[in-house]
Amino acid sequence: MNIKYMFQIMFLLIFVSLFSACTHQQDAKPSPSKEIDKGHNKPSQPVEAWKLPIEIPKGEFYKIGSWFSDHQLLYITNLEQSSSVYFYNLLTGKSELLYKCEDPIVTLQVSPSKKNILIQTSPSTYEGQVIILSPEGSERIKKSFPSYELAFEWNPFNESEILISSFNEDWTYQMLLLNIEQSKTTELSIPQPFIKWIGKDEVAYLKWDETSPSLFAPLMLKKMGVESEEVLFNDVLQFSSYQNTLMTVTAEDEEQLQASYRFYNKDKKQLFSFSIPHLTMFSGWLVPYHDFNESKGKFITFKPIKSVESDAYTEGFELVSYDINKGDSDMILQGQKNEPILLSPTGEAALYGNRFEKIINLETKEISELVEK
């Protein structure tokens, strides 16, 4: 992989969702949680009823991993070299231990149905261990991978499958398919490391040209196990794939003064689009953090107020919510930092911050700290 292509990879690493690895199993597992909410579609409780901040039972807060339901979070703590994962119930104010491991937990990801929880630990610099847990904390699978960095993409159409991009220190990579049910890992031949599921056995990726680096690339569709590929759209900067929706980020026009966000259904019919200013970097455009609640048709993103070089931009970001079904938008906040954001299952709240240490009530437009500083 040449140097120019490596810069493309590093650029994408900043803006594509990265997920990472987990480690040694403790001898004694925590008992199944009595607090776990398995009724994920229950009506949500008023945000005003939330009990904050979180009181950390033991160790030091590392980060919030994910939503588990509208009133349950998963968070990670560190104590010396070990890490623990806790459930936190926003309504009762109680934390409950889910899992403990003797190596640092790098990240945590919950499957789309909430039936599986992926954690990655880092036993050493060049090893990542992936553990799949049940919501009660029992191990379903544990695998180690020689790697410097791991990225994951859960198949929302078949949750027993996870795509794993295993990177070496020089950003060369290996593509793997982990099958949870069969406890089997298969090496794949796919020309790009950042891939998203677009169907049960179909993936999409940007086909960057190694010999001629560019800001944009064709978005390709490929059926697993088949050599051929087809072009979905040309000149795409970034994309996201959901169960029934595809979102692309492209240039608004030839002058490239604004970034255009476009939403399509499975038949490639455009459902909605909007344009915002963009910030340029040495390697391309900065695509602000965003998230999408497909069931509600709610897309939320940070938006710069003008197009300039990112290093010279100091005006802060607006947080804007777009309804792709109604075609309207709502200003949530102004003057914010561009940091990761994650919508709750009903889209009424969002985790915010580099460690998801803040929570935004999207109805009252208020920000609260989840953990005392």
Opening angle at CA 344, ends 343 and 348, nearest 5: 90
**Which of 128, 127, 126, 130 has the alpha carbon at shortest distance from 118?**
130
Q: What is the pLDDT of residues 109-167, one digit of tens each?
A: 999 999 999 999 999 999 999 999 999 999 999 999 999 999 999 999 999 999 999 99
Predicted pLDDT at 10? 42
> What is the rounded distance in angstroms from the CA atom of residue 286 to the CA atom of residue 282?
10
Task: With beta carbons less than 8 A apart as the criterion, state whether 121 and 24 touch.
Answer: yes
Q: What percent of the chain has pLDDT over 90?
A: 80
Report yes or no: 236 and 250 within 8 Å, Cβ to Cβ: yes
pLDDT in tens, 333-367: 999 999 999 999 999 999 999 999 999 999 999 99
Cα dihedral sign for 242, 245, 251, 254?
Answer: positive
Mean pLDDT of 182-210: 93
- State how far the Cα of 67 lies from the Cα of 135, in Å rounded to an integer: 13
Whole-number Å distance between alpha carbons of 260 and 255: 12
Contact 117, 110 (CB under 8 A): yes
- pTM of the full predicted structure? 0.87
At 31 the three-state DSSP class reads: coil
φ, ψ for residue 182, nearest 5 deg: -90, -5
pLDDT digits (tens, 9 = 90+) for 290-327: 999 999 999 999 999 999 999 999 999 999 999 999 99
